[in-house]
Structure 1
């Protein structure tokens, strides 16, 4: 059945440049262990080129023919065992697993618990922000992006549907022949090949038509937009999905951009595809297998515990034994000596594909994964467990980056707290040493006290109360304004100190502090409300707790509002002759006066502290906007990691 993806996939190949002679990787056979001898003697090349595809002996040629015959028999058995099209479960909308291939899945309760723990980890990572260009910030941002992509593209979907077909990524170096390999196995040109490098920019996924619903509509690589063919409009978030009946059901191939591509975007796409695959096929060449990018990828596969197979391409028949001996030795020393290995000898490519007869060993390998559900499931579990195990080091490494940002944030917050705590201390000192009662406040007090209005606020019992004298009202307004000015000036100085401290820390701190070296525009209005409320509170304390002494209360009464102002003068240390303090003490008594004084000062401190907290929140919002996480983010990250271990 020729699908739309088949037609468009073939059409995409018509205008491509043919492969150059240097790209024409061809004859493939399974890699055999090299001889044990230290020195390998190269044999003379045979007269006929076809002889180089065998083991350079007649017996080896016969053995190759026998292997081919055996492979044909295995393929015939596989064809009989396979189902032409996977049945679709109408109720669930997902392809059914063929009979005899039922794979054991986790119980629903275990899946739900593990999925919940992974979702919590994903949210914790998603909440992280590394907005500042501190040392290691770019590395942290990259690690965060990789974790998120792997959780969303692979881990969470794979846990939910462990019976989905195995996704095999074909990755490797530039010009290694990845696309040629995929096209040959698919027996159609699903992936671009050509002379220009890099060739593959958009990942291409090809699978059996029965597996198409898993990848066309499923959650695996769910963040990528599905397209039928590569186009100029295809972005880095696109994925070509094509179907071919030539691939066995239960496995899918994913062709990726080069891991060492000169295009950074291609490099990132390749690693994202690797993070979303169950099995890796690494393709490299006889001339580039020792390059650093190749071994970086192999090291990553080893660290992740990924199921891995290796294809060594472009091997000259004459140097095959020497190359293989060295390559296998390197793999063994690296702890990868037991991985499945295949070799592709230098040969001719026709229409972007290898001769199908040369793909016997790799086809058998794929067929075994297809028909053996337990083997396939084991490979999936191995990779999935390896990824989950990698979180034990990758998440703490991310948390360490996070702690550096949190520490920097803590230093900046300490500067803010110290500056505004100093401002609060200055206000308390001014309230004690009488410096508040200067200028206009002192003039208004002296006018009020010297005019006789002070005594007129004390009334004989039975006389009708009088209105508050104008001088007293003016004094009240001056006292409120003086206290407001003290608060605003202290906040202004605190803001200047914060900006200066941040500038001294770093250039980054100076940038963050721009525009924050002055108080907010709302401070004056908020300070006015706070001082007015405090004055009302003091008057209420005088009214409710300022009980006059018995000897005085029988003769005189007093106006609470006026007495509260007189009390404030004494509280702030005003008047050198001590008249306010003596008068209030005579009326209320020392014990009552002390209680009111403590409560008044405590209330004033609380109100000013609230004002300064609101001012300090400007800096917190600036740090938040800059993407600097706080300590709670690290706590949530560690907790999510612990919960994942418990769920496993």
Structure 2
């Protein structure tokens, strides 16, 4: 066999390199593909993707890299069709096991001429199958004991037999039955047929219309692979009738160009061999292919083009599945975000409409500011409030820590409750969706994570620290008010928090007068210390700080859902767009490979 030829020119070399680069890109994309959502058709798309990766590894990439490598002729067919007996006849002596026990071919045997050994001892083709060296044993071993001894532990191996009887340029591979009782045999047979440059399909006079082999033949027609059909064990006198019917079936399925060889029923000799004359036309046909290097190259290119076209169609199917996955992921993500967005709105309302100024917070606030002096200051006129506030604070103000603690407790309860409601809503939305239900499985996300309350408490304390930092920063710029800040930083911070919570929209009855009046007093105090513009700015900054911390807390809770759907990075090209582009390029490659 001649060595692989150098490209005729730089353009041809670049075209081949470009083709290999594209195929490697497709292979990597499919190999890393994840279709995690259980949508209709997702299982089939995963199966198609895995099969495509296998064929890229086993045939398409190796053949593109080595267009001058020997042709691999896979001998396949149904159980009991006589494949192994045919292979022995083509070699002229027993090389593979044949007999009545099923299945006879458990480990595929690849026959090649010694000069072609280097093409097959490496992992150029069928890289996932381990190589095992076989021997001819003088060619005198009966067919029922020939070939490799069946070894259940070596099912994933390829037995290589170097045989001078096989013409250089063509290798024969005896494959397991396509309808074997053993699942691993059926899967291996399908893998081997997908790696073939040409296919010798063996059937019998009473099995040629079986459905399963014809499904594989139709697939071969789609790949444009060269197929030769061997009609085995034809009774004397039935050749013309059966051959005519089989040719008509081949024509209907787009295989009218397939060669049809008829092997009449014959008695086997003492070694289990067919008469040489019965297979002479097939031997001559294979020898003719082997001797014609240009013809072999065209067969390889034809099969390769067909395989790439089929690959393009498979990538399109996977792209469609990826698009459906993306749409479903986005819907599931939108369901989660909508649930938590509603919680954000509810928290915002609860922290601005006076709802927090109830119960313990209201009681501690009243203890802190009192209910007499400050209210009388407000009632006696806004113009005198500064003096009244000053008089009030000439004494020692009540500690602010109790109000801070009450605010922390109240705010914690609001945030945890709303986060739990959001989680329950998101969980219910997902369970109403088959894809979401499959993602959740038996996990219960209808509540906050165990560590969430402590995270909230930490963020509330940090927010209160933000408030005090703002008070200190504002006081440092107003040296004339240093006496207020020297003993009232915490107190003024508490007052600022209360003002932030004091829009009173959620209060009713007497609460409005009490909490609202207290908040008005607090606002007037802050204005007396810092000025109206500064108070408006402080309130805005404090509210924004709280909103950001609440948003961060809820975003972390959403991750429990969102991490299950593996959303692509923002700005990244979508998987379906990449697959669509690759399918288009594969189609062009298949048209002119």
Q: TM-score range by the shorter chain?
A: 0.7 to 0.9
Aligned to 2:516: 576
Per the alignment, do residues 415 and 436 of structure 1 end up closer, same or farther by CA in structure 2, a change over 3 Å counting?
same
1:35-46 mapped onto 2 (5 Å cutoff): none
2:449 to 508, 520, 527: 520
Per the alignment, do residues 609 and 191 of structure 1 end up closer, same or farther by CA in structure 2, a change over 3 Å counting?
farther
Measure how far apart 1:395 and its partner are.
1.0
**In structure 2, how many angstroms separate the alpha carbons of the residues matched to 1:554 and 1:522?**
41
Q: Does 1:170 align with 2:82?
A: no
Per the alignment, do residues 479 and 585 of structure 1 end up closer, same or farther by CA in structure 2, a change over 3 Å counting?
same
**In structure 2, how many angstroms separate the alpha carbons of the residues matched to 1:453 and 1:178?**
107
Measure how far apart 1:241 and its partner are.
1.6
SS in 2 for 1:338: coil
Measure how far apart 1:477 and its partner are.
2.6
Aligned to 2:312: 392
**In structure 1, how many angstroms separate the alpha carbons of the residues matched to 2:75 and 2:396?**
91
Per the alignment, do residues 470 and 374 of structure 1 end up closer, same or farther by CA in structure 2, a change over 3 Å counting?
farther
**In structure 1, how many angstroms separate the alpha carbons of the residues matched to 2:373 and 2:159?**
92
CA contact (8 A) 2:239 2:262 kept: no
SS in 2 for 1:145: helix
1:500-515 mapped onto 2 (5 Å cutoff): 500-506=428-434, 509=437, 511-512=440-441, 514-515=443-444
**More relative contact order in 1 or in 2 (CA 8 Å, sep 6+)?**
1
SS in 2 for 1:318: coil
1:278 to 197, 207, 221: 197
- Backbone CA RMSD of aligned residues: 3.4
Per the alignment, do residues 262 and 130 of structure 1 end up closer, same or farther by CA in structure 2, a change over 3 Å counting?
farther
CA contact (8 A) 2:309 2:586 kept: no
Q: Does 1:429 align with 2:358?
A: no
CA contact (8 A) 2:38 2:434 kept: no
Residue by residue over 1:602-648, the C-alpha shift from the partner in whole angstroms, topping out at 9 and shown as x without a partner, is: 332222222112111112333459xxxx9943344334434555777
CA contact (8 A) 2:312 2:584 kept: no
Per the alignment, do residues 472 and 396 of structure 1 end up closer, same or farther by CA in structure 2, a change over 3 Å counting?
same
**In structure 2, how many angstroms separate the alpha carbons of the residues matched to 1:532 and 1:343?**
89
SS in 2 for 1:471: coil
CA contact (8 A) 1:370 1:376 kept: yes
Residue by residue over 1:275-332, the C-alpha shift from the partner in whole angstroms, topping out at 9 and shown as x without a partner, is: 1111111111222222222321221111111122221112123111111222222222
Measure how far apart 1:571 and its partner are.
0.8
Measure how far apart 1:466 and its partner are.
11
**In structure 2, how many angstroms separate the alpha carbons of the residues matched to 1:507 and 1:117?**
33
Runs (5+) with no aligned partner, structure 2: 134-147, 376-385, 505-514
1:487-566 mapped onto 2 (5 Å cutoff): 487-506=415-434, 509=437, 511-512=440-441, 514-544=443-473, 559-566=488-495
Aligned to 1:20: none
1:612 to 542, 554, 558: 554
**In structure 2, how many angstroms separate the alpha carbons of the residues matched to 1:554 and 1:138?**
72
Q: Does 1:120 align with 2:28?
A: no
Measure how far apart 1:151 and its partner are.
1.0
Aligned to 1:340: 259
Measure how far apart 1:408 and its partner are.
3.5
Aligned to 2:218: 299
Aligned to 1:288: 207
Residue by residue over 1:58-86, the C-alpha shift from the partner in whole angstroms, topping out at 9 and shown as x without a partner, is: xxxxxxxxxxxxxxxxxxxxxxxxxxxx6
CA contact (8 A) 1:547 1:592 kept: no
**In structure 1, how many angstroms separate the alpha carbons of the residues matched to 2:500 and 2:185?**
73
Aligned to 1:596: 538
**In structure 2, how many angstroms separate the alpha carbons of the residues matched to 1:104 and 1:615?**
62
Report the TM-score, using the length of structure 2 for normalisation. 0.83
1:195 to 100, 104, 107: 100
- Pairs aligned (count): 543
Measure how far apart 1:167 and its partner are.
0.8
